[in-house]
Structure 1
């Protein structure tokens, strides 16, 4: 038993922890949990705990599979909304013989990060996560916003202000530093920015963040949603990811010339993401509703292009602090907060590494304020197209393995079929009496 295990046991005893929740996610990034009593914690840390591996397969479950979840003691934390008497740890899921379990999203990201480490680099990721906060007691099928605020509005002390304060307090108790928070462009829409950290910690933080937001909303009699586009007439919610590679303390993406936005390696990394953008979109935008956000503008990207000014570009290269080495990064603007952060980051990083490995050349910068005039390829238009492109992606299969790719595809095919078979309110209003 290592020092981290000893720390977990000592902390649990000193704080009177009664249960520890073991966390893992399925292939869609939906959080799963198994609770163990504190009396069993030492044995669980040594031997893991058995569970049904089909629970990681999303809605495409086929048959039960015995697997073992091994908690990662470095992720131990006390859940602040349980008065500190319930802990949590993320898990690595293994086959009974100790081999990797193909449907373990967290392990998929760790495999890519091992490749990055072999090159002598580490990955730093920041995240800007948007979401909506709605009235919790309303039984109407249409969500009711709590305010009419707009971008960066300072609203009076109300549910939204209290909500953000409580959420940040909880996140800080969980060891997740917050860089900033503010009201977003749509009514009752909020954004919280998570400070840069290593890629695995960020994926864990995003998963923890989503549960924390929902717990705080519930405390206030509200409900929060990470649905990409819940309001038809307003902007959807994005999850912009800020990415950079470091060699020790040196930012690999930084170029000492202030007029050059990225180093040669940074440019090849960006070129890799652009070249494989269509293949990875199913992971960064994995729901039918995701494409309502991408299709309707409101600053959501549609074209595969890069820019320094934002607009409709898929990737922005921030240029506000060109001489500060640590600030050099790329901002991927397509992901939404309903994504599986582990698989998304794994494939995005793999695309960037492919660009470096094969020397991809970065095309010219686009005018981000006038994307329609740019002859650039578009992101997939809907879930069906995104699924087709992901399924045929050699990069996805090499990075994630056939099992994960096939499971994600099976889930998304079923979702698309159900969506296609649904008669919408729009169709009834448009055609019922006309035809």
Structure 2
């Protein structure tokens, strides 16, 4: 009861503070297993009660597909309820949606125990397990999206027509971009980079690294802000894995690093390019489990329309120093940044997209890397060319394999990968398998164009 009283008092104070700033309600969010952010709205006058006891949320949400159809799983039972409790330490007024604030939520059973399907609580537990090893994880998720004209049809029109990475493209959306960066700054988001990307009317934004739970929270907040500011400018955005066919899709690259005693283990070590033995083992653990991880990080049938060779999508299971065609890119920074290499060095995983639940994806990555720390497998030699340019014999010698080209193969690998499924637990594992298989069945005979049309506005 003491904890409930403390949370209630915190909620009361915040509710009064928000009301004084003309904030009417708080959107308390969670991300489902299909990567869709769901929410419950709480008026600021009842934030006190929501903070103490949470708000009702059916466990059936765990079985929602991206199309809102409910997969046939044991958890999809209309009986029972959960409590969605806002994390008030992360609450922030939304600059792109005046009158609203946002807070990520954790889900608990009615008896107060952690809901086994709550990906945010799972990620927190994975972070704590690493801390038990003396390791502190940092993460960041890059965001790519395409901007369209409002009033979209079957083939929506891109807003910006300028060349890839070109300044001309910025000119076309300059006011929107400036308002977006102002809104993110007002919300306390530290943007590291913003620039046009390769596909037509595509942009990318990256943020400063943070602990994994905060990184996943920020990914949710930034995506919502990008969409909200676009709406105020009469624009539409899509984070879907593929929005054009053929073409380059939207990625959701993950950056990960580990520190021990305040020192980044991805720098200053005796291994290749400064890797320490711990960084090598952690990387090898992820590398060996990339096919299974795709069922979490590239979770849609549409994801596999994006995973094409020579598209910087990282479709080969290999690693390389600053190699944008390798699934795992070791980022060390320039020689001029040597003094900061301890801060900058990290592992970028390129084969994932924004259909993924960021909490679930980071939890699965930490589970895979932790398995590497237990097993201490040898990290193969780095690949410093486009793996697609190698002969089959050369790839065999280097141990380079093509990642799955369809969701069904990733799901099969996931089902067999105990290091990940044990970490997620049976409830999450069974639910994920049912959801992925339901989506596979739905699109069995669909064309790429039909898949894109069905998923473009879901993400």
Q: Indicate the residue corresponding to 2:227 in structure 1.
A: 214
Alpha-carbon distance in 2 for matches of 1:263, 1:7: 47
CA distances 1:100-146 after superposition (whole Å, capped 9, x unpaired): 2122111121111110121222211122211111122242x123222
Aligned length: 425
1:116 to 130, 139, 151: 130
Alpha-carbon distance in 1 for matches of 2:261, 2:51: 31
1:60 to 51, 71, 74: 71
The answer on whether the counterparts of 1:255 and 1:263 sit within 8 Å (CA) in structure 2 is: yes
Alpha-carbon distance in 1 for matches of 2:448, 2:218: 36
Structure 1 residues 120 and 6, CA gap change in structure 2 (3 angstroms):
farther
1:414 to 425, 432, 438: 438
Q: Indicate the residue corresponding to 1:242 in structure 2.
A: 255
- Determine whether 1:129 maps to 2:143: yes
Gaps of 5+ in 2: 1-5, 65-69, 451-459
CA distances 1:228-279 after superposition (whole Å, capped 9, x unpaired): 1211232111122111012342112222569633111111110000011111
1:326 to 343, 348, 352: 343
- Determine whether 1:12 maps to 2:23: no
Structure 1 residues 408 and 256, CA gap change in structure 2 (3 angstroms):
closer
Offset, 1:36: 1.7
Matching of residues 221-232 of structure 1 within 5 Å: 221-232=234-245
Alpha-carbon distance in 1 for matches of 2:204, 2:88: 30
Q: Indicate the residue corresponding to 1:154 in structure 2.
A: 167
Matching of residues 302-321 of structure 1 within 5 Å: 302-321=315-334
Q: Tell me the secondary structure at the aligned position of residue 346 of structure 1.
A: helix
Structure 1 residues 194 and 406, CA gap change in structure 2 (3 angstroms):
same
Alpha-carbon distance in 2 for matches of 1:424, 1:120: 46
- Determine whether 1:29 maps to 2:35: yes
Matching of residues 134-145 of structure 1 within 5 Å: 134-139=148-153, 141-145=154-158
Structure 1 residues 262 and 149, CA gap change in structure 2 (3 angstroms):
farther
The answer on whether the counterparts of 1:22 and 1:89 sit within 8 Å (CA) in structure 2 is: yes
Q: Tell me the secondary structure at the aligned position of residue 105 of structure 2.
A: strand
1:73 to 88, 96, 111: 88
The answer on whether the counterparts of 2:146 and 2:203 sit within 8 Å (CA) in structure 1 is: yes
Q: Indicate the residue corresponding to 1:336 in structure 2.
A: 353
Q: RMSD in angstroms over aligned alpha carbons?
A: 2.2
Alpha-carbon distance in 1 for matches of 2:363, 2:380: 24
2:425 to 391, 401, 425: 401
1:96 to 110, 115, 136: 110
Q: Indicate the residue corresponding to 2:304 in structure 1.
A: 291
Deviates more, 1:143-152 or 1:345-354: 143-152
1:366 to 383, 388, 397: 383
Q: Tell me the secondary structure at the aligned position of residue 317 of structure 1.
A: strand
Offset, 1:29: 2.4
CA distances 1:320-374 after superposition (whole Å, capped 9, x unpaired): 3463211111111111122111111101111111111221210111133344422
Offset, 1:158: 4.4
